[in-house]
Amino acid sequence: PAASHVRPRAASLSPAASHVRPRAASLSPAASHVRPHHGHLTLGPVIGTVTAVTARILIEVPFSGPVTMVVSSAFDQHPCTVRMSAGIPAVFKFSNLQPEAKYTVQVSGIDHVHSSFKTFPVYDDHEIRDDLGDKPDEFNPEHPTYLISQIGRRVALEYQRQLHEDIDLSHPVAVGHLARENHIIHPMGEYLILICDCRGAKVFSNHQRLDRTETRPFLTSRQMMDIKESLAPGGLASQCRMMIYATQVPMIFMGRKMTEKISKKLDDFEGMWSYKQHEVEQVEMLDLLYEWTTQKPGRGIVLNGGDVHLGGLAELYKNGKFWARQMTTGPISNVHLKGVALWGTNAIRQVGRKMPRGWAYKSKPFVGARNFGVVRTFDTSAGWPQCYLSLVHNTCKGGKKRIVERFWNGVEGKGREVWPVWQPPVKTVKY
């Protein structure tokens, strides 16, 4: 959701297997073993949830008929055949895989298998319509927008949610009853991927919003309780030591009062965590994440967000003490803030940085450029997992275009690999 790319520790995985969690079966495409027959893949293979012994892989083809996918390792092979319909994605499910084995993916009868990484996609408003969930139209069955939003959600279920769980899509367009909120809680060895859904939940899962009885209209109580149970002692994340947390919009961007003032001119700010009553849930989520990091020594967390057409890095403080960093990323191809809009945003970015319950933040100047984020994970000398954050963005000075990787400070960037290495030479700089 934040255009960030997670790079596991080099000790755990080779670069070719970087899309799979430590101690999990490793999956990668193998185009050289594919027999041409029917044509090509419209999409995929897209690798979804992978555990030590299971995997889910999604593809789409432009023809109807049975398609066989085989995952192979040095130890075994696992075929799976699915009868597919043209233009409709389908998931191939594999079980009884060998832990820590590297698997290649082969699709019978397809002449191209594209490279693929383990993915955790979650839609935001622009995947369906601008400001999704911030206007009453999505809740009015008589309004055309209601139908558009329901169709958009079905597409998201077909192409995204199926990567993580089975969805019954045999029903008509209205599929509100088929799936819960769109958040993802996925342990990967010592790492935890937690993607909080602050967009779809308030539209499709907040059934009580219209009569104002839902106590958490931004996230919904059901999503919050699900996350609480997973982060509690003995929960799904009890063995994890580093959390990579993401949500569609940044947890921290501007203070509540400034957000409300700007929202009168730019209604996009109505979807921010710090907008009016949303701040209650913002602080509740921050307290929940803070509690998880303090349950055991050595736990860490990085936060990620997107949507605001800017790149940035921020520090979060609890009761005056540093707690965690947040990276804001995007856009990759859309327009970005520049000129007076960028200057003004940077001028007011610290206004209202003190928040309720002892929370505060400090932001680096925002970068007005197309960008994406990189999370580098590694072990400290004490054996604890740690992360470095950086923004990769384009820049143009003196008429020369180049790609820059911008670290939080010079220490983190010093001696680090320069990544990515496409196009002109990449320059590593201090933020």
Q: E strands within 95-249?
A: 102-107, 109-110, 184-188, 191-196, 242-247
The CA distances from residue 149 to 2, 111, 120, 185, 273, in Å, are: 22, 35, 21, 25, 22
Residues of the chain with pLDDT under 70: 1-39, 111-117, 171-180, 205-213, 409-431
pLDDT value for 143: 87
pLDDT in the model for residue 22: 34
Angstrom distance (rounded) from CA 249 to CA 266:
15
Place of tokens 């940085």: 353
Give strand ranges (E) for 293-399.
300-305, 312-318, 321-328, 359-363, 371-379, 385-397
Q: Which helix (H) or strand (E) holds 159?
A: helix 144-159
Q: Using DSSP, state whether 301 is helix, strand or coil.
A: strand
Beta strands in 258-344 (DSSP E): 300-305, 312-318, 321-328
| 385: β partners | 379
Q: What is the pLDDT of residue 8?
A: 35
Residue 17: helix, strand or coil by DSSP? helix
Q: Find where tokens 């496409």 sit.
A: 422
pLDDT for res 82: 95
> Looking at residue 98, what is its pLDDT?
93
CA distance 22 to 342: 40
In the prediction, which pLDDT does 134 show?
80
Structure tokens at 209: 């919003």
Q: Tell me the pTM.
A: 0.81
Report the pLDDT value the prediction gives residue 211, as an integer from 0 to 100.
52
pLDDT of residue 421: 33
Dihedral over Cα of 284, 289, 294, 296: its sign: positive
